[in-house]
Each structure stands twice: as structure tokens, then as C-alpha cells.
Structure 1
Amino acid sequence: MDRSTVHRHRWKILAVLCMSLVLIGLDNLILNLALPKIQTDLGSTGTEMQWIVDSYTLVFGGLLLLSGSLADRFGRRRMLMTGMVLFLAFSLAAAFSTDSAMLIAMRAAMGAGAAMIMPATLAIIKDVFPAGEQAKAIGIWAGTAALGVPLGPVVGGLLLDHFWWGSVFLINAPVVMVALVGGAVLIPESRNRNHSGSLDLLGALLSAAGLAVLVYGLVEASRNGWSDGITLISLAVSVTLLIGFTVWERRARFPMLAPELLRDKRFSGSALAITAISFGMFGALFVLTQYLQFVLAHEPLDAGLRLLPIATMIIGAPLSPRLVERIGLKAVVALGLSLITAALVLTAGAGTDSELRILWSLAFFGLGMGLAMPAAADAMLAAAPSGQSGAGSAVTDASMQVGGALGIAVIGSVLSTSYRDALPALDRMPAEAADAASDSVGAADGVAAGIGGEPGRQLLAAAHEAFVEGLGDAMLIGAGVTALGVLAALLVFPRRAAKGPLAVGGDTTPGEADTGTDDLTASGAARREASRAPRPT
């Protein structure tokens, strides 16, 4: 397929890529609604239930950078299609799992497929879109990637109202089939044709192990606390491995990730911004799904519908590139993060009956995310050489995953601690019931229902009051992190995004297709000239 054909179908290609992203966004939350039915049918223990969710995140986060590097070397369409096939196959296997161990293994394998899909989508956008349209395309990409999050509870609630728990995995099948056909017909192959060196196996091992252990440590922190020995050891090992990866990449002849990228303000600033955004988003949704279901007593489907105001990101995402042109990258990212911070502060003031406040905060959050995320992702992708666009895209995705895992771990830990501290003494209750009620507001609801009568109502009211107090503390912590993101954006970002990638030897030019020929369009020539020019400071 020649470049004119690619450009003519670029918006159809983007639609195919967005379909792939919706799968990943849906899968992040849709499973949570099915866990009670899974536990009943498979007899899963509490630990097994946790790993049914966490095995996906662990493998997904660990393999992102490796998958992006392999996509650059062996072909981005090939990696995308392979990831979709794996995601489909293991989704079907997960739907018909006969025990918890099988479901955990299938979820881990789905994470491997998702890790192949996500970096390839951004890299393909850079290949098929001219420089002037990349920001708009990435805005749509960012909106689609996040839209799956509020849709997860809605779709999950509809399926579970009518079908068995395996249906939450079968929903992936028709979407993947359409995306596979569209990808095979429309998406051109692209790779770093000038990379003739050997694969950086040590760098791949260090990056995969470092990210996997980091995600594992964050998961353990959310479960067992930050002072737990396993948590501390995991985080220390992950830091050691990632430092080792950075040191090795500076010395490797054919590194997975050019060291120059980490020194580029667009790239490093964008990584910090995306991490802060994801910290706030995943942490807030983790808390609000519980607030809507346990405190406001909404059913899963009704709770999911009330998360939809975050879809204002669809309004912010198209505005983002226009605002970057007018007021600059630094101002747009700082503005978006400021709106997110304001939304979290608004949420922190919620009481036991503050539904309207939550709806407004979600709307502000979505608008801020729509402004900041596309601008940061576009700047990050623009900084990466075309030959390493897969690896650069993987760092974008890894920032999202690590920020999300960190947000759930930190905000979840603050929520649990504040909830227990705010709960009145339960000395008159049996020890087992008191321990359960102190564990979470969901468990307290179950204990209150078992007690019944006035004592049950009193326990329920006390648990709800304790939860909203914990919610306030947790959201203020989240607001503090996103406020630091605002400060980082103001200090780290250049005022305006540079137009070209870093000039790193051995890279292909933007838009170079599988044939190895140069992009002879005016935009391609302009981008090649920009890549040779000194970068602005």
C-alpha cells in the first residue's frame, strides 16, 4: 500500500485502532462486576479473586516496553494483529474456565495480548498520519482509550443482568473480529528498517522484570499496606532493575530506548503528566464505584451510568491540539491537570448524599483529562524518532499503567486506613463480625444486613459516614499528586511543543512504510528537516 492510499484511509485506520483500545478500557473494570458470580461458581478464595484481577495488570505492565521494541523491529501491524488474536483466544478460554487457576492463567495471557496491542496503536498513528494531523488523531485515541473505563460497568451490568459471568469475556469476540478484518485490509506494515543490529535481550529482560515487579509491588501495597515486607522488597527490587535498565541502555550498541529521549523535556515532562493523570483517574474511579454502589445504594448498571459524565473528555480531546497551537503545550497540560485537581477537591467534600457533586466532579475531571492527555501523548510521540515510535509509545502506555496502579494502591490504602480510624468502636459485636465491618464498607453492608433492625441501621450509617471521611482524605491525596503534576508541567515543559523527533542515528523518518521508501510528501520532507534541526530548549 503506497503512502497516498495510506493517507486516504487514515481515519478508517484510526477507527480500527480505537476499536482495539475500547477492548482494553472495558476489560479494566468490567470484570470487577462479575467477581461475586465467579466466586460462587468457581469457589474462589479471596486471594484467588485478587489474582484474577491482578494477573492481567501485572503481565500487561511488565511487557509494554518489550512489545513496543519488538513492534519497531518486526512490524507494528504484525504486533497489533498478533496481540488481538491472543486477546481473542484467551478471552474465549477465560469465559469457559473451569477453576480459578485456569482463569488466572487466561487473564495473564490476555494481559500479554493487550501489551502487544496498545503500543502498536500509537506507533501506527505516527506512521499513517501527517504531522499536522497527529495531534488530532491522538486526541481521539486518548478519548477512546479512557472512554472504555466508564463504559465497563455499564456493559458489565447489562451482561450480568441477562447472562452468566463468562459473557463479560465473550463480548470481546465480535469487536476483535471486526478489528482484525479492518486491520488486515487497511493498516500498512511499518517498522524500523534501518535497525540491523541484534535484539537488546538484556535490556528487554531488565525492562520487563522491572515493570512487572513494580506493578506487583504496587498491587501488594494496595492489599497489605506500604510497610509490608513483600511490598517494600518488591519496590526496592523494581527500582534496582529499572536503574539497571537505564544504565545498560546508555551502554548498549542497539538500545531498546534511546537514552536521548529521557533527556528531552517533551518526553520526560509528558511521562510525568500522564502518570499524574492516570493516578488521579484510576484512584478516583476505584473510590467512586464503591461510593455509588455502597453509600448511594445503586445497582451496578445504575452506578455505571452515573460515571458517564467523565465522557466530557470527548469535548476536551478535540480542543487540545487547537489550544496547544494558541497558548502552548505547557499551558494546556497545566490547565488540564488543574481541572483534574479541582475535580478531586470537589469530590473530597462529598457527604453521604452528594450525587450531584460527584456528577459535576466527573464532568470536570473528564474535561481536564481530555485537554491534558492528548497534548502530553502527542508531545511524547513527537519526541520519539520514527524508528523507535513503538518503544516511545510503550513508555506512554507504561506511564498510564504505572500511574493507575500507583493511584489505586495509594488512594486505596489511604481510604482503608481513614475508614478504619473513623469507624466507631464495635466492642458489642462478635469479633468476626467486627473485623469484617472494619475491613471495608461493602463488608459492613453485609454485616449490617445480617444483624438487621435498628442495630443494623446504626452500623450501616456509621460505616457510610466513615467511608465518606476516608473518601475525603483519599481524594485530597489524589489532588495533591495532580497538583504536583501541574507544577511539573510548568517547570519541565518547554512553552511550545517542538515539531520534530529527536535526531537519533539509524531511525527511519516519520511515515516510512514497510517498503523502506521515504515519505516524499511535503509534510514528510518538513518533518525530516525538523528532525535534523537543533531542538529548542
Structure 2
Amino acid sequence: MLANAQSPCDEGIIQAQRSCEAAVSPGTRALPAGTQAARKRYALAATILGSSMAFIDGSVVNIALPAIQTAFGNGAGGSLASLQWIINAYLLALGSLVLVGGSLGDRFGRRRIFMLGIALFAAASAACGLAPDVAALIAARALQGVGAALLVPASLAIIGNVFEGEARGKAIGTWAAWAAITSAAGPVLGGWLVDVVSWRAVFFLNLPLAAATLWLAWYAVPDSRDPQAAQHFDWPGVLLVAGGLGALTYGLTLAPGRGWRDAGVLWPLALGVAALAAFAVAQARVRAPMVPPALFSSRDFLGANLLTLLLYFALSGVLFFLPFVLIGAFGYSATAAGATLLPFSLILGLLSPTAGKAMDRFGARRMLTWGPVLAAGGLALMALPGLGWPYWAGFFPAMLVLGLGMTIAVAPLTTTVMNAVPSAHAGVASGVNNAVARVAGLLAVAVLGVVFAAALGGPLQGAPAVALIEAFRWVVLAAVLCALASAVCAAVFIAPARL
């Protein structure tokens, strides 16, 4: 998953392959074969458009952050902490509610929840584009995250319901490929809109996409639900995990300005840790836990999620700060800054199917060890460019190596997560891994923001180019260490391939 938004090869994409058997509307069965085939294509298009909005917004907003900072000034509205919360609000809502979104779709109907998520996401996008200040923008971004938490798992379940057998696998591959393409094109288009129109246009772009998605979903997607879905939701668990992550992230974002000994920093950190600990305890006692503790009895499942946390922490943190350095230190336009991600996204989208096939030959543990090592090498290359370095000699090789490393790791990681649990728990296992990836991005922005601010030693706006580059190098160093630690997790936890 990319920063956020994450990568087009999100860990949740296999959820659709093992989703529960669901009822299909009788009207769909009665349609002629040609009409059924056409509607299936339209249904797939709806899931691609809907999911792409959520994926694109996870990366496009990064490109718009420098322009947002300029618009709101360097006071409270344009501070580093405020900019972090523009990203964190979205990731927090999405990461903490994505499991609930999947459960709601199973119970109340996947098309209904999908369309609700699209409508909510569109309304929140309009609110982002009209935001008069940074507080309103952060609130609207949180609402966007709620909409994404509804539409993403529902879109995967829709694919699992509409397609069967080999057609299902092909549909998921098409979904992932188009997600890669839109994620690659999104930052470029977003950067162009920032340069030519305004940062607000980045959010208004979602409105026509949402309208098309709603029409396609209404026309082509049959409603379905799991008749055996749990009738009770773990609402206390939702409140504990969302509150814990929110308090923890709030404390981390305040730390650079107030210092670690300030009570306004220590209390949120303590409350966040306590809430997350209470969440872990409560999951073992409630009747229908949001995250069944038995899942973590599998070493493969535990190791794969630790690897996800560390690897996507590294990736999300670097990609958050990269636009500031490209624009502020190297003089890139917003369009050019967005285009730097194209090699990474295209390699990930085009080569992921090949990596999935290679796992049968080399085994998951070997690929999950060497993929993160190669990704760490790509991240390390980002620390080399200095003032005056051309893109082709500096950031282009880094993006190539990083893309290859992530390509080697993503498909085996998804497969390992799904194979580590019984089929009955495949959906929640996918949701857990998806949530872990989102949380990794959330924590990366907060924790590495502390590193970046400490190394910068002054306000972000107007910072000298040399200082920006040096601060970014410290972020890269921390990210490289995390990526290497994820490789260690694979070597220690993931079982070797059976001969």
C-alpha cells in the first residue's frame, strides 16, 4: 500500500477471493448472457473507480501539501503539525474503521455500503475543496477516511460476489492493475492541477468520478450480503482503537514544538498507550471481537503483519516528506514532484503478477526477506542527491530500486497473510493486514515528523535548501533501518517453503 494511501497492491485485495458465499439478486440471474457479461464489466469498473478515489487521495494530497502550507501561512494553519494532521486524519479514520466497514457490508448489503461510502467520500471531498481554514480541512479529511473505510472493503466483496472461479482472479488482477495505473497518474494530474488551477481542484476532481461510480453501481452491481454475518459489532473496540491511535498520534505531532517533557505531550501519549492496551485485553473477552486474538497464534500471520507495519512505515514516511524536499530544495514544480513517483508505481503495477508467480518457485520467506532489503537499498539511494543533482542521476534510480523491492515483497506478503489463517477468517485477516498498513502510514508521518523537525531545527516554510536535504536524509536513515528490520521479521517468523 502506498502512503497512504496506499499502494495499488494493497494487502486487502485477496479478501475478494475468499469472501463468503452471498445471495445474488434474482434479476441478475435472469439476464441474457451478453447482458450479464456487460454488467459484470460495468460492476468491475465501478469498483475500480471507487477504490481508485481512495488510493489516489492517499498520495495526491502529499503533492498538494506545500501549496496548502503556502495558502494557510506558517502560523498554526501552516505548521508541520497541522500538515501532518491533514494526512493523519484520513489515515486514522480509514485504518480504525476499515474492519467495521467490511462487517457493515456483510450485514446490510455490499452495494448499499459501497454507494454510501462513495457518497460520503464525495461530500467530504467537496468540503475539503471549500475548507476556509486548516481545521475545517482536517475535519473533512477525517470524513473522507470514513467514506473510504466503507467503500474499499465493499468493493472487494463485490468483486468476489460478481465473479467466480478463474474469472474472479482475472477481475482482481484487473482491479489491481488499474489501481496501479491510477495511483501512478494521480500525483501527476494532482500536481498539474495544483500548478495550473489550485490545490482545491485536487479534491473537486473526485466529484465527477463519484457521480460515475454511483451510476455504475446502481446499474450493474447486484446487492449481496452474508446471511451468517455476525449480528453484533464490537463498538467498544472501535472506540478504543480509534481513540488510542488518535491520542498517540496527537502527542507525537505536538512533541516537536513543545518538547517531550511537556504535559500536553505526555498525557496524550499515555492515554493512547492505555487505550490500545485496553483494546488488546478487550478483544480476548468480547463475544464478537473486531480482531479475533486467535489469528495471532499463527507465526506466519504475526510475522507478516509485523513486516507490514515496518515496511509500510518506512515507505509512507519517506513519501510524505519527499515532495517538500523536491519542491523546497530542488525547485520542482508540483507536477514534476508528482511525476517522480511514476517509475515506482508503474513497476509495482506491471510486475506484481510476475512476482506472484515467482513465489511458487522461490517461496514466500525468501522473497519477503530480499524484497525489503532491496527496498531499503532504494530508500538509501534517496539520501544521495544534493543541490544541483539531475532527476535521472538522483531520484530516478532510487525509484527503480524501491519499486523492484516492493514488487518482490507485496504479492508474497498478501498470500502469506491469507494462507496463515483458516478460510473462514480470510476476510478479517485481510482487513487486519489492511488496517496495519494504514496504521503504519499514520505512525510514520507522526514519528518521522519528530525526526524531520529535530533535524531541520526551524520552521518548515522558508527553510534553506541544504537544511531540508539534511533533514530528509535523517528520515531516510530511519526508514532504511525499518525496512531492514522488516526483512529480519520475515527471516525469523515466516516458515520456509515446503518442498
- Tell which deviates more after alignment, 375-384 or 153-162: 375-384
Q: Check 1:231–1:155 CA distance in 2 against 1; reply closer, same or farther (3 A cut).
A: farther
The 3-state SS of whatever aligns with 2:394 is: helix
2:486 matched to 1:485?
yes
Residues 174-220 of structure 1: per-residue CA shift (max 9 Å, x gap)? 22222223333444444442245433333333233334334444544
The alpha-carbon deviation at position 359 of structure 1 amounts to: 0.8
The alpha-carbon deviation at position 68 of structure 1 amounts to: 2.9
Q: Distance in 2 between matches of 1:39 and 1:191?
A: 44
Which residue does the alignment assign to 2:4? none
Q: Distance in 1 between matches of 2:497 and 2:173?
A: 17
Which residue does the alignment assign to 1:168? 202
Instruction: Specify which of 312, 316, 329 is matched with residue 364 of structure 2.
Output: 329
The alpha-carbon deviation at position 20 of structure 1 amounts to: 2.2
Which residue does the alignment assign to 1:415? 452
Residues 346-392 of structure 1: per-residue CA shift (max 9 Å, x gap)? 22233223332311111111222223123222332454566655543
The alpha-carbon deviation at position 399 of structure 1 amounts to: 1.3
Q: Distance in 2 between matches of 1:37 and 1:303?
A: 12
Residues 12-51 of structure 1: per-residue CA shift (max 9 Å, x gap)? 6554333223212322343355456656777895247535
2:459 matched to 1:439?
yes
The 3-state SS of whatever aligns with 2:382 is: helix
Which residue does the alignment assign to 1:20? 50
- Contact 2:240/2:278 (CA < 8 Å) preserved in 1? yes
5+ unaligned residues in a row in structure 2: which ranges? Answer: 1-23
2:385 matched to 1:350?
yes
The alpha-carbon deviation at position 478 of structure 1 amounts to: 0.8
- Tell which deviates more after alignment, 347-356 or 481-490: 347-356
Which residue does the alignment assign to 2:319? 285
AA at the equivalent of 1:487: V
Structure number with bigger Rg: 1
Q: Distance in 2 between matches of 1:219 and 1:129?
A: 44
Q: Check 1:59–1:392 CA distance in 2 against 1; reply closer, same or farther (3 A cut).
A: same
- Contact 1:139/1:374 (CA < 8 Å) preserved in 2? no
Q: Check 1:240–1:34 CA distance in 2 against 1; reply closer, same or farther (3 A cut).
A: same
AA at the equivalent of 1:480: L
Which residue does the alignment assign to 1:85? 119
Q: Distance in 2 between matches of 1:216 and 1:386?
A: 37
Q: Distance in 1 between matches of 2:174 and 2:266?
A: 38
Instruction: Specify which of 218, 221, 232 is matched with residue 198 of structure 1.
Output: 232
Q: Check 1:344–1:407 CA distance in 2 against 1; reply closer, same or farther (3 A cut).
A: same
Q: Distance in 1 between matches of 2:256 and 2:154?
A: 30
Residues 241-276 of structure 1: per-residue CA shift (max 9 Å, x gap)? 223222222222222232221222343222222222
Instruction: Specify which of 272, 279, 286 is matched with residue 245 of structure 1.
Output: 279
2:284 matched to 1:233?
no
- Tell which deviates more after alignment, 306-315 or 264-273: 264-273
Pairs within 5 Å for 1:9-408 = 13-34=43-64, 45-47=75-77, 49-50=82-83, 51-127=85-161, 151-195=185-229, 197-221=231-255, 229-311=263-345, 312-354=347-389, 355=391, 356-383=393-420, 389-408=426-445
- Quick one: percent identity of the two aligned structures? 33
- Tell which deviates more after alignment, 483-492 or 20-29: 20-29
Q: Check 1:245–1:373 CA distance in 2 against 1; reply closer, same or farther (3 A cut).
A: same
The 3-state SS of whatever aligns with 2:284 is: helix
- Contact 1:65/1:208 (CA < 8 Å) preserved in 2? no
Q: Check 1:209–1:413 CA distance in 2 against 1; reply closer, same or farther (3 A cut).
A: closer
Q: Distance in 2 between matches of 1:132 and 1:280?
A: 35
AA at the equivalent of 1:366: G
Q: Check 1:202–1:7 CA distance in 2 against 1; reply closer, same or farther (3 A cut).
A: farther
- Tell which deviates more after alignment, 107-116 or 33-42: 33-42
AA at the equivalent of 2:486: G
- Tell which deviates more after alignment, 277-286 or 39-48: 39-48
Q: Check 1:417–1:149 CA distance in 2 against 1; reply closer, same or farther (3 A cut).
A: farther
AA at the equivalent of 2:453: S
AA at the equivalent of 2:369: A
The alpha-carbon deviation at position 54 of structure 1 amounts to: 3.9
Residues 455-490 of structure 1: per-residue CA shift (max 9 Å, x gap)? xxxxxxxx3333333333321221111111001011
The 3-state SS of whatever aligns with 1:348 is: coil
Which residue does the alignment assign to 2:7? none
- Contact 1:61/1:215 (CA < 8 Å) preserved in 2? no
- CA RMSD for the aligned pairs? 3.5
Q: Distance in 2 between matches of 1:93 and 1:56?
A: 14
Q: Check 1:94–1:283 CA distance in 2 against 1; reply closer, same or farther (3 A cut).
A: closer
Q: Check 1:347–1:134 CA distance in 2 against 1; reply closer, same or farther (3 A cut).
A: farther
5+ unaligned residues in a row in structure 1: which ranges? Answer: 421-437, 445-462, 498-535
Q: Distance in 2 between matches of 1:105 and 1:177?
A: 23
AA at the equivalent of 2:145: G
- Contact 2:311/2:482 (CA < 8 Å) preserved in 1? no
- Tell which deviates more after alignment, 175-184 or 11-20: 11-20
The structure whose RCO (Cα within 8 Å, separation 6+) is larger is 2
The TM-score with structure 1 as length reference comes to 0.75
Q: Check 1:495–1:471 CA distance in 2 against 1; reply closer, same or farther (3 A cut).
A: same
The alpha-carbon deviation at position 231 of structure 1 amounts to: 4.2
AA at the equivalent of 1:439: P
Q: Distance in 1 between matches of 2:307 and 2:425?
A: 21
Residues 285-318 of structure 1: per-residue CA shift (max 9 Å, x gap)? 1232122212221111122222212121123311
